[in-house]
Structure 1
Amino acid sequence: MKTLAAALALIAPAQAGLRFPCSTLTIERLDPVVQPGAIPAAHVHHIVGGNAFNATMEGDVGERATCTTCQMAEDFSNYWTAQLYFKHPTNGSYFRVPILPVQPLLGGSQGASGGLTVYYTQFDLSRDNLNQQKITAFKPGFRMTVGSPTETGKPHVGLRYQCLTGQSRGREMDTFPTGPCTGGIFTTQHFPACWDGKNLDSPDHQSHMANTIKSDGFINAGACPSTHPVRMPQVAFETVWDTSKLNSMWPSGAPNPYVWSFEGTAAGTHADYMFGWKGDSLQRAMDKSECFYDGCGSIKKQAMSVANQCTIKETVREQTSGWLTKLPGR
């Protein structure tokens, strides 16, 4: 798989896109896409974005939100993944792994609190943008997922792990690292980018979208299929799980001690996206063609110190951090 860093190094000047940090909004058992209305949902999620997030979300959430934990001040979307836990090799207790801001390629995430980094790109970050379709922004009410917690083989295409050591991200893998990572575990969630042009969602939250990649990662994969003819922005998340204080508890040669919050293996990694940009702000950025990271200045930014003030009230009151005898909901 071509990494985001490697792909960005090859990016053509004619491409535009966005890359920005979002601080953590909440960590709790809520999932308005897969389990709407459930309080609590089945497992713990790490959630960032707009403060309209709640157990049930319909319609234009961007119009209802009043603040966002994201650097792009007009982005009230929500982005979430399962939470990572460390399972103690000796006593079987669980510890919620802290989250670090992703170190920026070109600056910009200073002051972020936990959270993740979001990408909206054109043409799968490929040099070859000939014959590519116009990028059409998502519509109010749009949502999608990638991956599945029930997967036991290999993760969905584009869902990958890297072992951080110093400034090196290491090779991309389809499973957890086999040894301690001094800089943490780096995860990437890469969404499909071709829409059927009709449905804002589907029963499995995936069928209304189709992948633009044939093997893996940020590589050119040709035009959208006739069944899903509308090319949308390519969305991806990056998260750094801070394992540094847990590595000493991983005995040499012992199996991987990390699990997702659904007691799942690496294959079950997954992510959810709910669109919430204000008005035509995302379309404006996708229409630009000569810069990257900030949409050629077409999007209003806010300081992360301001973004960090955006909060929501806790909905599910239960302990999710510290040492736990069992995972929440298990």
Structure 2
Amino acid sequence: MGRNTRKRRMPLATKIVAGAAALTVGGGGLVWANFYASAHEDHSGHNRTRSAAAQVATIDCPDIGQKIRDVPDRARGEVDGELATMDSQITNAYQRLATTRRAQAGDAQFVQNTILGPLKDRRKAIIDRIQLEINRAGGKADDNLDELAACQGRPSDQMQNGDGQNGDGQNGDGQMDDGQDQGGNDDNGNGVAGPVADDFVDINDVQPNTRDSRNGLAADGDGGSTGTFTTDCGVNENNLFNSDNLIAAPGVDNGAHHTHDYVGNQDNDAFSSDEDLANADTSCQNQGDKSTYYWPVLRLQDGTQEFDAGDQGGGAEGNIGKILKPAEAQIKFVGSRQGDVVAMPKFLRVITGDAKSFTNGDANANTSWSCSGFEDRQVTDKYPLCPDGSQVLRTVNFQSCWDGQNIDSANHRDHMAFVQEDGSCANGFQAVPQLQIRLAYDIPAPTVENGQVQNPYAVDSFPEQLHKPITDHNDFINVMDEDLMNEVVDCINRGEDCQ
């Protein structure tokens, strides 16, 4: 399945951002400034706490992309483009939400009438086009997709003690506590919504060995393939950044609405074809590995003016502060607990985690956060506060069961699956080498005082996801040459540790 190259861009790090609006700590020049300020002002004479609780914190829309199944190959490009337009609609609606707080305080129906209602109509028009494109290409569109057009506003008081969707004890953003009702605001003084104090946890307060590890540690047992293959691709020393997503939004500029780090393949943007990827340079020491590995950047919200401070995907969409490169990026492939693995097909695409987990729920959330020296304590919905000398760790184990046929699927998930509890693959899927990525960062622990966090770090996110740690995710496209992939498989199946 090749991708057409419609235009080419230079990496964002090579652009000269001239005349960009300055990003000022405190919110000057940002649409996200003073996110809740009007919620704390008493313009109407109503009780401040009651009017604040009525404020809508973010927009929650059903994820159409995860519901679509039967999309013929020749319609996937058009459908992906329509879904990317839907993402932009949500971003624009969130911007409208964040900049009309005073009007919302004076009109209980403002959000529904001027934001959510028109958004539903626009989403309905796109759903109709998606259904038409699928049917024209010979597929059978789901007639019930129209039921997913409506979005909801999520009030901040609903998110104080849990987000109401996950059902697993995940905490919400705690945005409207008593201290903040006394006139504070929830942008930590930096002009963007999130992260907030409740998004952080002292690693010493995390119970050991409590996170579900079903998604695979290294293989064990006599029947398994116990080898490993490690590929060293650096930590993005070449400063390859962009806010595209070649897997989920091919051909769409700024399809991710947040900035990614890239290691491995050096020709990775929304417009890269499979041929482009195959002919590209690589940052991997083994030149046979031209795979692309990418993840949203971490930023320290310290007022630093990054190169993308005025860009979409960067500061213009609430992703602000100093980009933090990993001190180390360990990329490793491991085997199966139940037997041998088979080769991955070239250009296999895999997404793990969910960039929209805060509103979608945690069904696809996968990344673990921890601290070096505390690896037995893993959290998915919190950023860890690590002691001095301990690094912040982001680890993820990818799906390792492949359907044996497809390098992608309509929702970019169905062609891959996690192992079952016993380590085997279900539904006739085949075990392939499991990709594991471990990123280590040197980050000073933020200070949490009086319900606010100072100089927080946060993962880049879609604006409406409020920089929640549960939205972390990773992406991979296999562009190893055939000889190297066979070497990886042989090494793992022989039980050796190779690189």
TM-score tier after normalising by the smaller chain length: 0.5 to 0.7
Alignment correspondent of 1:251: 448
Alignment correspondent of 1:174: 380
Alignment correspondent of 2:325: 99
Counterparts of 2:347 and 2:319, CA distance in 1: 39
1:233 aligns to 2:440 (yes or no): no
Q: 1:22 aligns with which of 208, 233, 238?
A: 233
Counterparts of 1:171 and 1:292, CA distance in 2: 28
Q: 2:485 aligns with which of 255, 278, 282?
A: 282
Is the alpha carbon distance of 1:253 and 1:211 closer, same or farther for their aligned partners in structure 2, counting shifts above 3 Å?
farther
One-letter code aligned to 1:282: M
Q: Which has the higher contact order (CA 8 A, sep 6+)?
A: 1
Alignment correspondent of 1:59: 274
Is the alpha carbon distance of 1:155 and 1:146 closer, same or farther for their aligned partners in structure 2, counting shifts above 3 Å?
same
Q: 5+ unaligned residues in a row in structure 2: which ranges?
A: 1-210, 304-317
State the 1:158 CA deviation: 4.2
Is the alpha carbon distance of 1:234 and 1:93 closer, same or farther for their aligned partners in structure 2, counting shifts above 3 Å?
closer
Q: 5+ unaligned residues in a row in structure 1: which ranges?
A: 103-115, 215-220, 296-330
3-state DSSP of counterpart to 1:203 = coil
**Cα RMSD for the two superposed structures:** 3.1
Alignment correspondent of 1:70: 284
Alignment correspondent of 1:33: 247
Q: 1:260 aligns with which of 459, 464, 467?
A: 459
One-letter code aligned to 2:437: F
Is the alpha carbon distance of 1:168 and 1:178 closer, same or farther for their aligned partners in structure 2, counting shifts above 3 Å?
closer
Structure whose residues are more often strand by fraction = 1
The question of whether the paired residues in 2 share the 8 Å contact of 1:60 and 1:140 is answered with no
Alignment correspondent of 1:140: 346
1:162 aligns to 2:370 (yes or no): yes
Q: Which of the pair has more CA radius of gyration?
A: 2
One-letter code aligned to 1:143: R
Counterparts of 1:81-92 in structure 2 under 5 Å?
81-87=295-301
Structure whose residues are more often helix by fraction = 2
Deviation string, structure 1 residues 244-269 (Cα, Å, up to 9, x no partner): 3xx3x523465563332114201111
* TM-score, with length taken from structure 1: 0.68
One-letter code aligned to 2:297: Q
Deviation string, structure 1 residues 101-134 (Cα, Å, up to 9, x no partner): 33xxxxxxxxxxxxx21111101xx4xx4xx2x3
Identity rate, percent: 19
One-letter code aligned to 1:175: D
Alignment correspondent of 1:328: none
* TM-score, with length taken from structure 2: 0.46
Counterparts of 2:293 and 2:217, CA distance in 1: 22
The question of whether the paired residues in 2 share the 8 Å contact of 1:18 and 1:294 is answered with yes
One-letter code aligned to 2:474: A
3-state DSSP of counterpart to 2:470 = helix
Counterparts of 1:98 and 1:56, CA distance in 2: 26
Count of aligned positions: 258
Counterparts of 1:172 and 1:252, CA distance in 2: 24
Is the alpha carbon distance of 1:54 and 1:255 closer, same or farther for their aligned partners in structure 2, counting shifts above 3 Å?
same
3-state DSSP of counterpart to 1:53 = coil
Counterparts of 1:189-204 in structure 2 under 5 Å?
189-204=396-411
State the 1:28 CA deviation: 2.3
